[in-house]
Structure 1
Amino acid sequence: MRKRSGLTKFRWQAAASAALVVTLLAGCGQSKEERAAEGGASDKRIVIAVASDPALDRLDAGSYQGSIEAHPMVYDSLVEYGEKGAIVPSLAESWDISEDGKVYTFHLRKGVVFSDGTPFTADAVKFSFERWYTDPANASLNVAKSLQKIETVDETTVRFTFAGAFYPLLTELTFARPVRIISPSAVEPAGDPEGRFVKPIGTGAWMVDSYKQDQEAVLVRNPSYWGQAPKLAKIVLKVIPDAQSRVLALQSGAVDISGGSSGKIPFDNLEQLRGDKQLTVQQGTGTGSHFLIFNYDLPQLQDASVRKAINLALDKKNIVDKLLSGAGREAQGLFPLTVPYVTESNNAWYGYDAEEAKNLLQQAGYADSDGDGIVEKDGRALELNLVLQQTEFPEWKPIAEYVQSQLQQAGIRVQLQVLESNAYYDALWTTRKYDLIFYRTYSDAYNPHAFLLSLFHRTGDAPAVAWSDPRLEELIEEAVASTDLERRQELYDAWFARAREEAIYAPIYYPDDIFVVNKRVQNFKLGYTTYEPIAWNELDVAN
């Protein structure tokens, strides 16, 4: 479907956007020549295109405001998220966990100071958590919901006592917010957990230097940083809301990097950008997945044979090859192998087999009695509506059209229903007015446990959102409470095995993490999470 249409669309939109780009970049940016003229290692800088205002004036570590990517740049956490979910030291050099999994004792790094020179201590950790953990708005975090007591054992030791065992507690402590550590001097009155946030002061590698709403924000190197010192002096976040304008800014050299969730690059432009001699397209397997949810209340979809037939009818490799411009991979299961507890063996799913899909429908009692190409049972055609949105994921529309065509070939009629974002999420979480709905998993530290609990487990008296199955709920409950790694793996293996047996979803593709980078940028390396998408401290620029 891409062929010439992507380039034609680009040229048309480029002409329409040119004046906007000139206005955006002439008023508040520098050309690559001007930046080069500045020279000097002390002013090494790069410019990142972002789609929305980073709101660094509201970058409170204990809130959900401000750029999610800026939070980990300014604020450190006790522990960080490493490759495939490994928990690595950060402000805590080491930690002990009681045998019952309820008490965590963190031994803090010595000699660390906040960017304003005030000391980092156990009291600062206690202050940071007391600002937010009792707030009902954070009840979805077990580290908040289960936290009963914080004790400062001494200046460099802090102890957390929780109501019960929950193995992802350490994982939740790696989140971008609200778990990161802020200086007691960042609020007024200083040191008061109820104090008013004044300015972002953390122990991270970067400090907020300046901020112009809806224009740009500048982060500078923290000279007091305890870890690997950044090679750059400044990172400028340039606000460019229009995606085609971001592409033009990359091509002109006015920005050095765009991509990821904060500055998405349209798939239609990737082929052209790969051919630009001044740019490189950097990509890697992410931790997210896009898939179809089945409405388990629908009688037709309560038959596992029908659900398996839908899976078998989807040529996912063709979808990726034809529609994603090399920006994704065929889904083998609900999660990619970059997610903890996901293995080659437990992630095996249904391949493409159009004939077997038809056979399963026939075995389930469906037949095309009137020759119109659509199978029926008890006089009722097998017809489903597929709900999607395009605001966040414009690629879903052509993919849904392809799914529609492939299911039609199997004898299933699909009607597409494109909703605006609010109506879409209302259908997903509240009304459940869909037969099939396009959705995506969470990513990084939220997988697999938080996503499975959110979508495949009841919440209070409300049934599970994506699929209700008591056995699946028991398995995930036992897994998150287990303190034994091998037992936990067994439970996840059992969860995925039952999900496959019942065919409770239809995986489609794994989107890659995509960034377009100017070749003047050196040492570019993808991070391990969407909120720390780049190894910022390793970035450098050519002299």
Structure 2
Amino acid sequence: MTRRRLAVAVLTSALALSACGANDKPQTTADTAATRGGTLRILSDGQTVNFDPAKSSNLAITSLALVHRRLTAWHNKPGEQAKVVPDLADTGKTSDGGKTWTFTLQEGLKFSDGTPITSADVKWGIQRSFAPAFSGGLGYHKQLIEGGDTYRGPFEGAELKGIETPDERTIKFTLVRPYGDWPWVASTPAFAPVPKGKGAEADYAEHPVASGPYQLAEYQKGVKVRLTRNPNWDQVKDQVRAALPDEVVWQLGQDASVISQRLVADAGDDKTAFGSSFVSAAQLAQLANNASAKERVVTSKSGALAYLALNTEKAPLNNPKVREAFQYAVDKAAFQIASAGTPALAGDVATTLITEGIAGREKFDLYPAQPSGDPEKAKKLLAEAGFPGGLSGLDFVVSKSNNGAEKAQAIQAGLARAGIQTTIRTLDGDAYTEETSGSATAAFDLTLASWQPDFPSANANIQPLFQSTEIGGGGYNLSRYRNAEVDRLIGEAQATVDPAEAGKKWAALDRKILQDSPVVPLIYTRNSFLRGSKVANLFIADFPAYPNYLQVGLSK
């Protein structure tokens, strides 16, 4: 696949449940009733908010979706598995087992400037994402649409062969192979409409033509973004956006600790604000004696999979028995403590690759042990593999960000109990990325990583991390795992249109891959967010581990 990543980033931090005790349950929603009107404020430590759909990796429930609709959308609520639902169009139909997909747009849709939204505008927006000048967004579609492997965008008059628009409301995609998750792919940012002929300028993100309930009224990099209502948006034609506030305002460039302090103080306009970044474990610990602030922490039930990747191309880690020993040697409880202070703050111990809230997920544990591990079992497995004296000199590379060194030290200590000796090497972000995923070969033995899917399908859990095509070149197969049978089964599961049948195939792949032990699942990280006292209906569903911006409002 073309390289892609969330604007919400590769999730490498294990974040918090609440500032309460280990037995407390996550508060996944703010129960206050939301009303229409007012100004919702979002406090951000970022310098920009990207409203260019071609360049965006934004989830379908966060900031971009306030301004841009897509062909399809997500329905997600706590306690429910996410499902694909109509947005601009229906959820798509296929008559040939998933190789061609046809979507029909609703009647009467308009852009913020009052012009009709047509299938040609959707096609233009997708084509625009292929232009080299507008790279950087999610790219699942780029190698799937027929002709996409060589297409360079529409600005020189070329059209993408695999997209047809026989009339103003119909758009048909011809893919290079059957792909059952195409309705999910149609919810990614590139499937937002851009008026045909527009968007050639590099700063389109600062003055986009809106199809969602809000339009961009003010943009000051590093300072402020202000959205106002789109007068041509029709609530009747949009089932996923409540559009409760009259305005949405981002305050940019705020220090993360200052954001936390402001929201804890809950004064003035900050009562109507929430933080777009995770509340850190250290910040949550400071809330332990503040009952008001604790009540305003909203936390995911689960989240991204944190895992230890083993470089399967290097001896002795090319030996499956050696890799199996790591499943027992790792101290997941110590990793929880290093990540967030307590197991409850960090997230539950992980035993599967597919995360919670994803259809088809099966809960199992192929390597049962206490959370602290079973070093004696690990030693036995190493002896059976021909290493009775253990292993030494393993290169353990981690990123300096997100408490990486401390988490690596927790893993290192657990491995040492089983006779596995490692040397930790910390790298800055770009150097870490280049070493772990940039090149065709890699010198490291072990690394820590984390992953949350880009859309609610087990496909997005499994394929990016374990298909052999994702090794190097910016791919996320950090364990450099190659298994021809797994590759074949991934293709088979991707080609399955029926979600229930596909779910069974992905669950079987989850087990099959873990039998090879290319990674050790560690925890399902929890994310916490802090809100002001007048922010209402801020909830985090079972997937993803982020608030649904589209439903947030204010209380009276």
Q: Shared fold by TM > 0.5?
A: yes
**Which residue of structure 2 aligns with residue 333 of structure 1?**
352
Q: Residues 112 and 210 of structure 2 are in contact (CA less than 8 Å); yes or no, is this contact kept in structure 1?
A: yes
| Structure 1 residue 505: Cα displacement | 0.8
Q: Residues 250 and 518 of structure 1 are in contact (CA less than 8 Å); yes or no, is this contact kept in structure 2?
A: yes
Q: Residues 457 and 468 of structure 1 are in contact (CA less than 8 Å); yes or no, is this contact kept in structure 2?
A: yes
* Structure 1 CA distance for aligned equivalents of residues 91 and 463 of structure 2: 29
Match runs of 1:173-192 below 5 Å: 173-175=186-188, 177-184=189-196, 187=199
Distance 1:99 1:212, change over 3 A: same
* Structure 2 CA distance for aligned equivalents of residues 231 and 484 of structure 1: 35
Amino acid at match of 2:430: N
Distance 1:165 1:323, change over 3 A: closer
Asked whether 1:214 is paired with 2:222, we answer yes
* Structure 2 CA distance for aligned equivalents of residues 300 and 67 of structure 1: 39
**Which residue of structure 2 aligns with residue 170 of structure 1?**
183
Q: Residues 287 and 338 of structure 1 are in contact (CA less than 8 Å); yes or no, is this contact kept in structure 2?
A: no
* Structure 2 CA distance for aligned equivalents of residues 520 and 167 of structure 1: 42
- The farther-off stretch of 226-235 and 415-424 is 226-235
- Which of 294, 317, 336 is the aligned partner of 2:333? 317
- The farther-off stretch of 416-425 and 146-155 is 146-155
Q: Residues 119 and 169 of structure 2 are in contact (CA less than 8 Å); yes or no, is this contact kept in structure 1?
A: yes
Q: Residues 124 and 197 of structure 2 are in contact (CA less than 8 Å); yes or no, is this contact kept in structure 1?
A: no
Amino acid at match of 1:433: A
* Structure 2 CA distance for aligned equivalents of residues 79 and 293 of structure 1: 34
**Which residue of structure 2 aligns with residue 4 of structure 1?**
none
Q: Matched residue of 1:519: which SS? A: coil
Asked whether 1:123 is paired with 2:120, we answer yes
Match runs of 1:491-506 below 5 Å: 491-506=505-520
* Structure 1 CA distance for aligned equivalents of residues 524 and 36 of structure 2: 40
- Which of 238, 259, 265 is the aligned partner of 1:252? 265
Amino acid at match of 1:73: L
Asked whether 1:410 is paired with 2:397, we answer no
Distance 1:498 1:94, change over 3 A: closer
| Structure 1 residue 442: Cα displacement | 3.7
| Structure 1 residue 516: Cα displacement | 0.8
| Structure 1 residue 91: Cα displacement | 0.8
* Structure 1 CA distance for aligned equivalents of residues 304 and 331 of structure 2: 20
Write the deviation string for residues 104-138 of structure 1: whole angstroms up to 9, x where unpaired.
11121122211222122223223322333476958
Amino acid at match of 1:320: Q
* Structure 2 CA distance for aligned equivalents of residues 348 and 46 of structure 1: 46
Determine which structure has greater relative contact order: mean sequence separation of CA pairs < 8 Å that are 6+ residues apart, divided by chain length: 2
Q: Matched residue of 2:297: which SS? A: strand
* Structure 1 CA distance for aligned equivalents of residues 353 and 421 of structure 2: 24
Q: Residues 339 and 346 of structure 2 are in contact (CA less than 8 Å); yes or no, is this contact kept in structure 1?
A: no
Query: Which of the pair is proportionally richer in helix?
Result: 1
Structural RMSD (CA): 3.2
| Structure 1 residue 387: Cα displacement | 0.9
| Structure 1 residue 241: Cα displacement | 4.4
**Which residue of structure 1 aligns with residue 72 of structure 2?**
79
- The farther-off stretch of 489-498 and 139-148 is 139-148
| Structure 1 residue 488: Cα displacement | 2.7
| Structure 1 residue 174: Cα displacement | 1.2
- The farther-off stretch of 61-70 and 142-151 is 61-70
Distance 1:273 1:118, change over 3 A: farther
Asked whether 1:435 is paired with 2:445, we answer yes
Greater radius of gyration (CA)? 1
Query: Which of the pair is proportionally richer in strand?
Result: 1
Distance 1:43 1:274, change over 3 A: farther
- Which of 530, 537, 544 is the aligned partner of 1:516? 530
Match runs of 1:360-509 below 5 Å: 360-367=381-388, 375-376=389-390, 381-391=391-401, 393-394=402-403, 396-429=404-437, 430=439, 431-445=441-455, 448-450=458-460, 452-459=462-469, 465-466=478-479, 467-509=481-523
Unaligned runs of 5+ in 1: 1-6, 8-40, 368-374
Write the deviation string for residues 207-231 of structure 1: whole angstroms up to 9, x where unpaired.
1121211011112233332235422
* Structure 2 CA distance for aligned equivalents of residues 489 and 319 of structure 1: 30
TM-score of the superposition, structure 1-length normalised? 0.79
Distance 1:74 1:164, change over 3 A: same
